[in-house]
Amino acid sequence: MNFKGTIFYKGEQGYEEARVGRVFNHLRPKRYPIAVFFPEDEQDVIEAVKYANENSFKIAIRAGGHSWAVWSVRDEGILLDLKKLNNISFNSETKIVKAQPAVRNLDLSPYLEQHGLMFPGGHCPTVALGGFLLQGGQGWNARGLGWAAEYIEAMDIVTAAGKLVRADATQNTDLSPTHTPLPITGAKA
């Protein structure tokens, strides 16, 4: 395995902090992954997924650690903690912002404000984009601005097979956030 990041295996020093240290509500479930991987980049994510597949391990992902039920901490699998994937960049020509999955609202909002932009993020400043967008992106602004996932142009995704693909309106559309969303019913002005 050509993994550049950090790995904490069960029983090693630092494992317990890696397992539950980033859980926002401080719950400590009695679920113990075989290892916690902290990838440095997309290639590390690919390596971790391939390692899990080769060893028949299940894999769970943590972007920010904001799941109330701590879904990312699973028994006998790999916890892939995306903590270090937190870069943001802005292309002034296209006006498109690129953000990695561990970017939190408290980092994204001020960055966007510097460029005269905004994004309908979650209502908690420590929520990371990865989990927020996987659930559609419903925050305080959703009623007036729609779901945050509707503002995504494209996503680079590592599939369960360990392949990096681009999903947008023209390719890998089954994975794309740009699909036509279901209408929200019952909303009143």
For residue 133, give the CATH number of its domain: 3.30.465.10
77 shares its domain with 94: no
Q: Number of helices (H) and strands (E) in the chain: give both, helices first.
A: 5, 8
Q: Which segments of the chain have a pLDDT < 50?
A: 180-189
Is residue 99 domain-shared with residue 142, that is, in the same domain?
A: yes
Q: What's the predicted TM-score (pTM) here?
A: 0.87
Query: 165 and 93 in one domain?
Result: yes
| 169 in the same domain as 94 | yes
Q: Based on the domain organization, do 28 and 102 belong to the same domain?
A: no
Residues 77 and 136 grouped into a single domain:
no
Residue 163, domain extent: 88-175
Q: Does 71 share its domain with 123?
A: no
Q: What is the pLDDT of residue 177?
A: 65
Q: Which of 109, 104, 110 is nearest to 126 (CA)?
A: 104
pLDDT number for residue 104:
93
* Cα 136 to Cα 147: distance, rounded to the nearest angstrom: 6
Rg, the chain, Cα only:
17
What local confidence, expressed as pLDDT, does residue 184 receive?
A: 42
33 shares a domain with 106 = no
Q: What's the pLDDT score for residue 178?
A: 55
Decide if 182 is inside a domain.
no
Q: Which residues in 151-169 are b (16+ Cβ under 10 Å) and which e?
A: bbebbebbeeebeeeebbe
Residue 184 lies in a domain: no
- Asked if 98 and 73 sit in the same domain, the reply is no
* Contacts of 75 by beta carbon, 8 Å cutoff, 6+ apart: 31, 32, 33
Same domain, 62 and 127: no
- Rounded Cα distance, 101 and 79, in Å: 15
